[in-house]
Homo-oligomer: A and B are copies of this chain.
Amino acid sequence: MDYQIFEAGDVVLQSGATIRSAKLAYKTFGTLNAAKDNVIVYPTWYSGQHYDNEWLVGSGRALDPATQFIIVPNMLGNGLSSSPSNTPEPYNGPRFPRVTAYDNVHLQHRLVTEKFGIERVRMVTGWSMGALQTFHWGALYPDMVERIAPFCGSAKCSRHNFVFLEGVKAALTADTAFAQGWYKSKPETGLRAMARVYAGWGFSQAFYREQLDIKALGYSSLEDFLVAFWEGFFLPKDANNLLAMLWTWQNGDISANEIYNGDFPKALAAIKPKAFVMPGQTDLYFPPEDSAFEVKHMPNAVLIPVPSIWGHFAGGPGTNPKDVDFIDAKLKELLGS
């Protein structure tokens, strides 16, 4: 096991449900220095686990374990932290409670403070749903976090993004084998259908037009890309876990809590940390226009579109080296400021 578990006890969620003996799985890179001022928090993305975040960590990178102490907390529902797939009865499977990004970040804050005694965070950064959690760190702990760098993500799930996810969910659950989540063996047809729905959204029209699935990623045909990359990506994952995280995504909103009471501009305005907000220029479900709205309402933010035709995958997980270098350079710039 290459990660640790933070035993959080009984965690009461925004929904009112309780995860008993809640577990937050995390991995750290580097060493916390004596001043405890070299901390970077780097949450995971939809269905990703901590090792899926490692592409941005390394010697010579902004996230360099030689100088930084990088904490990668696994999102609830991702199969390592408390999830439908690993929670004992009676809160297992489709009974796993609905978890918000707020719940996630609140728990991550406990890890950072209770486990490590950290009072300042140099930077929070993340891709996609990792960006959603990054925005939450900025809005919920603006005095603790010095910088945020959300990329290819948003502070609130847009209506269009919500609809895209409705399609993903409908495809998975249309498989009768899903059985309202009480499946005994995996709903394979549904997982494959979900993958095919996702395929059109994940990369841009231009990516497919330029045949980068073949020419850059090395798949032997478009169908090979759909089977080997997309179906291969979703098939190993647990359907209830995927749906739990999907709910978290659809209901992501930094203002959906007792602090901001649904006032989204107010929550954005409260994000004091210096922010580099980096949408993918051709991202189909986190379009730059939504990021521009966020930046306009944030007091200390800069909009930096990632110039790429890789769609949502401009931001990760390390799929396109050129985009990785672009994001890494911006993170260095932000850390140096």
Contact = CB atoms under 8 A, between A and B. Distances in A.
A162 B225 CA distance: 13
Given A190-B174, A197-B197, A222-B159, A205 B289 contact: yes
A216 to B, nearest CB: 14
In this complex, which of A200, A201, A222 has the most chain B Cβ atoms within 10 angstroms of its Cβ? A200
Interface in A107-129: none
Interface in A199-216: 199-201, 203-209, 211
Interface string A272-316: 000000000000110101100000000000000000000000000
A208 B166 contact: no
B199 A167 contact: yes
A45 interface: no
A46 to B, nearest CB: 16
B167 A167 contact: yes
Interface residues on A, range: 35 or more
Given A197-B197, A199-B166, A208 B171 contact: no
A226 B158 CA distance: 15
A160 interface: yes
A278 B175 CA distance: 38
A61 B311 CA distance: 40
Contacts of A189: 174, 176
B289 A160 contact: no
Given A205-B289, A208-B163, A289-B205, A171 B197 contact: yes
Contact of A167 (B171, B176, B206, B207): B171
27 contacts: A159-B209, A160-B200, A160-B203, A160-B205, A160-B209, A162-B222, A163-B199, A163-B208, A163-B222, A166-B199, A166-B200, A167-B167, A167-B171, A170-B195, A170-B197, A171-B171, A174-B175, A174-B190, A175-B175, A176-B189, A200-B201, A205-B284, A205-B287, A205-B289, A206-B289, A209-B289, A209-B290
